[in-house]
A = this chain, B = another copy of it.
Amino acid sequence: MIKDNQQPALVVDLGGTKIITAVVLPSGKVVSRNYCLTLAAKGPEAVTNRLLTAASKTVAQAKLETTELSGVGIAVAGVLDAKRGIITHSPNLPGWNNIPLRDILAEKFGIDTYIVNDASAAALGEHRFGAGKGVANLVYLTVSTGIGGGIIIDNKLYLGTDGCAGELGHMTIEAQGPQCSCGNLGCLESLASGTAVAREAVKCLGQGEASSIDGLVEGKLESVTADIVALAASQNDPLACNIVARAANYLGIGLANMVNIFNPELIVIGGGMSQMGDMLLEPARKVIKERAFRMPAQTVRVVRASLGSNSGIIGAATCVFEQ
């Protein structure tokens, strides 16, 4: 449990697009937050150097010495061997194979360091300080470029045997579906993520279907993103509405699976795509009612995350405070 007199934690959220570094208080308050691009294509060494520089700057901005910190918490968009503190691989961080990031930071700062998958961290953050407060069993899903997950069972983060449980985005829901970034076919991620939405739009536009998306990207198909499709859908563009409805349907299938498996009280949805709100979530809730067993479908509430882009760093800090 978090003790009142604990010192703040330094946290790093390493994603495929951006690195967030921050100092977090035991109350969950975020102070001295910095943000930089990951520039993942430059490889692990360059990214690690950028990360270490950003982390040091964040500690200095908070006017703290490292000895005044409880520890370092790292949230990473990758598959972890949590016991050994190693990132085994990551679809979004090219070249990050068996990188001992925990020990690199532990050596740099000389304090206790913990590493956790970013979606698991976000699940913990939302459970302790966000939309999941007071709920014993919940499932967290981040729907963004990819789809990640985190599982809270009996008020504890469930990490499994190696520390890599919760890969809910890599549940096959269409056995012969499109190839996913993980190599598998028909993962939830390959059908309902931001990447899937953008890919579907590009495919339809390439086939000559009419849509206001074309104007929004000035005919440049490579500029199509899920955000643009969402914008066009919010303006009632028929193609965009169909694409969002398709993703919402697949999201609902994935959520129905989680309802039948976990019988959770709550499912919390975070990530960029969750900003679509009920345009995405309302059809997904309907699919749960259609596909899952009646009792767990009636029980579960599906809500948006409430900590925004801070859920991961607050969760990583919680890992430090609760060790």
Max chain B C-beta neighbours (<10 A), residue from A177, A184, A250, A264: A184
Tell me if A161 and B296 are in contact (CB < 8 A): yes
* Given contacts A162-B296, A256-B184, A264-B161, A175 and B173 within 8 Å (CB-CB): yes
A263-B171 in contact given A153-B153, A295-B88 (Cβ < 8 Å): no
Q: Is the CB of A89 within 8 A of B294?
A: yes
Q: Say yes or no: is A62 at the interface (Cβ < 8 Å to chain B).
A: no
Q: Within the complex, what minimum Cβ distance (angstroms) separates A220 from chain B?
A: 32
* Chain A residues numbered 33-70 whose CB sits less than 8 Å from any CB in chain B: none
Chain B residues lying within 8 Å of A260, measured Cβ to Cβ, are: 167-168, 170-171
> Please, which residues of chain B bring their CB within 8 A of the CB of A294?
79, 88-89
This chain: copies in complex: 2
Give the interface size class of chain A: 35 or more
A113-137 contacts to B, CB under 8 A, are: 136-137
Measured in the bound complex, the distance between the Cα atoms of B182 and A250 in whole Å is 19
Report whether A293 and B164 are in contact in the complex, using a CB–CB cutoff of 8 Å: yes
- The reply to whether B172 and A291 contact each other, CB–CB distance below 8 Å, is yes
Return the CB mask of A155-190 against B: 1 if under 8 Å, else 0. 010111111111110111111010000101100000
In the bound complex, do residue A164 and residue B263 qualify as a contact, i.e. CB atoms below 8 Å apart?
A: yes
Q: If A160-B264, A262-B160, A263-B164 touch, does A175 touch B250 (CB 8 Å cutoff)?
A: yes
Known: A167-B293, A257-B172. A153 touches B161 (CB 8 A): no
Q: Bound state CA distance, A124 and B185, in angstroms?
A: 33
CB-CB under 8 A from A261, the residues of chain B are 149, 151, 165-168, 171, 261
Residues of A within 8 A of B (CB): 79, 81, 88-89, 136-137, 149, 151, 153-154, 156, 158-168, 170-175, 177, 182, 184-185, 250, 253, 256-257, 260-265, 290-296, 299-300
